[in-house]
């Protein structure tokens, strides 16, 4: 690049004494073009110098993490593991129910991560907060914006399975991209193909390694007496990997939805469930109807101890109380969504934190490292280094 700059300076030399600068209009235009080329070369040189100093990677002024009001505790836990302060931003509602966002610090050219689980009490508010924050950071000239959604809403609306219905999961993905997100980061979507709805790159983390370790002790006590049960065939691929890691058999429950109420019915059992203990696993639990039907069938087949696990414990209404009353030993879930106080008060819900996993993923994205290593055990106790 130094050679190029030198060549450009040569092209920009003034003509010799034998020629007047203004004698030839064509020569004057050539000189102006040479000066422009010289300026362009200097800019390119500086850009090349910056890339070389950064090891070939793009340069950001810093790493910043912000959050809306859906699950602020989780964002603060991420920042704690990254050893950085949570970003300063105002997100609130006016009297007319409109949402207002103002970034209270300079975000220009920062690598910005907006953490927002798309959960209630108002899913619509959580989505609008995220979209408005993305737009605010885009207009604040952030260097790169990543939408971090530990729970991605509308995952069940991923296909047109009835006449005249929307594919809202795709609509939401489009909105996130248009609002200003350059990347997305999420965990255990309801269906893996939802990744393809986005027109921006992203990563989908999984809690399966955490769940494997949570149940390993139970399996080791009686390896031949435990079975893994999947009440939803949509979770079959992830469940298969968990069953292989625990080295226990896998049983599928085939369910159907009779209407749009959210209630489901188990219509078939695939596999042998003649065991003393069963682990029922799914990606999310909303009303709990599917899990309750599965628990009932397992008890009818003579299973004595039943454990339940999921990544996202949404637990709408009295779902938590009904699950506890069904006789399960405990429910194991993650903190990707906030647990309602009434659900936590049942005493039978164990919450595993995935904040370190998200923190490490954010660090790797910021540093330009591979995120793929996080999908292989252990992958959870990696050194956290933020430059």
User: What average pLDDT does range 263-274 have in this prediction?
Assistant: 73
Residue 382: the pLDDT is: 45
Residue 21: the pLDDT is: 45
Among 38-42, 99-103, 172-176, 375-379, the least confident range: 38-42
Contacts of 40 (CB under 8 A, 6+ apart): none
Confidence label for 213 from pLDDT (cuts 50, 70 and 90): very high
Confidence label for 275 from pLDDT (cuts 50, 70 and 90): confident
Residue 245: the pLDDT is: 93
- Model pLDDT for residues 54-88, shown as the tens digit of each residue: 454 557 899 999 999 999 999 999 999 999 999 99
From residue 89, how far is each of 34, 56, 129, 150, 300 by CA, in Å? 47, 32, 12, 20, 53
Cβ atoms of residues 21 and 28 within 8 Å: yes
In 3D, which of 223, 227, 277, 286 has the Cα closest to residue 252?
Answer: 227
User: What average pLDDT does range 38-59 have in this prediction?
Assistant: 49
Contacts of 246 (CB under 8 A, 6+ apart): 212, 215, 216, 219, 226, 228
Confidence label for 279 from pLDDT (cuts 50, 70 and 90): very high
User: What average pLDDT does range 298-313 have in this prediction?
Assistant: 94
Q: How many angstroms separate the CA atoms of 250 and 279, rounded? A: 10
Cβ atoms of residues 136 and 170 within 8 Å: no
Task: State the pTM of this model.
Answer: 0.81
Residue 232: the pLDDT is: 81
Residue 10: the pLDDT is: 41
Percentage of the chain with pLDDT > 70?
Answer: 79
The overall average pLDDT reported for the chain is: 85
Task: Examine the pLDDT at 321 and tell me if it is beyond 60.
Answer: yes
Residue 193: the pLDDT is: 86
Catalytic residues: 255
Cβ atoms of residues 21 and 15 within 8 Å: yes
Residue 3: the pLDDT is: 40
Confidence label for 264 from pLDDT (cuts 50, 70 and 90): low
In 3D, which of 280, 284, 335, 288 has the Cα closest to residue 154?
Answer: 284
Give residue for tokens 């920062």.
110
Task: Examine the pLDDT at 91 and tell me if it is beyond 80.
Answer: yes
Task: Examine the pLDDT at 375 and tell me if it is beyond 70.
Answer: yes
Residue 257 burial class via C-beta count within 10 angstroms: exposed 0-12, middle 13-18, buried 19 and up: middle
More confident residue, 268 or 90: 90
Which domains are assigned to the chain? Answer: 2-53 (no CATH), 63-207+356-375 (3.40.50.2020), 208-353 (3.40.50.2020)
Cβ atoms of residues 210 and 354 within 8 Å: yes
Cβ atoms of residues 323 and 299 within 8 Å: no
Task: Examine the pLDDT at 101 and tell me if it is beyond 90.
Answer: yes
Among 187-191, 223-227, 348-352, 381-385, the least confident range: 381-385
């Amino acid at each position: 690049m130094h050679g190029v700059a030198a060549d450009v300076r040569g092209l920009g030399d003034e003509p010799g004494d034998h020629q007047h600068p203004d004698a030839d209009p064509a020569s004057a235009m050539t000189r102006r073009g040479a000066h422009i080329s010289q300026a362009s070369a200097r800019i390119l040189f500086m850009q090349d110098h910056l890339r070389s100093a950064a090891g070939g990677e793009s340069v950001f002024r810093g790493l910043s993490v912000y959050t809306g009001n859906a699950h602020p505790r989780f964002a603060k836990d991420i920042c704690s593991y990254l050893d950085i302060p949570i970003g300063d931003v105002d997100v609130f509602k006016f009297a007319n129910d409109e949402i207002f966002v103002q970034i209270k610090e300079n975000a220009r050219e920062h690598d910005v991560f907006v953490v927002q689980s798309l959960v209630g009490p108002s899913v619509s508010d959580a989505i609008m907060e995220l979209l408005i924050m993305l737009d605010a950071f885009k207009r604040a000239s952030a260097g790169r914006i990543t939408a971090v959604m530990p729970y991605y809403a509308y995952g069940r609306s991923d296909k047109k399975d009835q006449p005249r219905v929307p594919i809202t999961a795709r609509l939401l993905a489009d909105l996130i991209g248009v609002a200003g997100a350059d990347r997305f980061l999420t965990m255990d979507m309801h269906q893996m193909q939802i990744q393809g709805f986005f027109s921006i790159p992203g990563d989908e983390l999984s809690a399966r390694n955490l769940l494997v370790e949570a149940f390993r002790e139970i399996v080791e006590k009686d390896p031949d007496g435990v079975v893994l049960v999947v009440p939803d065939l949509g979770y079959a691929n992830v469940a298969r990997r968990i069953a292989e890691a625990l080295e226990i058999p896998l049983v599928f429950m085939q369910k159907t939805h009779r209407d749009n109420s959210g209630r489901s019915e188990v219509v078939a059992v695939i596999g042998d469930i003649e065991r003393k203990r069963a682990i029922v696993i799914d990606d999310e639990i909303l009303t709990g109807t599917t899990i309750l039907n599965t628990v009932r069938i397992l008890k009818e087949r003579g299973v004595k101890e039943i454990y339940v696990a999921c990544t996202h414990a949404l637990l709408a209404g009295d779902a938590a109380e009904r699950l506890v009353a069904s006789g399960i030993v405990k429910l194991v879930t993650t903190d990707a969504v906030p647990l309602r106080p009434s659900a936590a008060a049942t005493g039978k819900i164990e919450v595993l934190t995935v904040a370190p996993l998200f923190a490490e993923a954010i660090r790797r994205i910021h540093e330009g490292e591979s995120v793929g290593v996080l999908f292989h055990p252990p992958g959870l106790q990696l050194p956290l280094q933020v430059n």
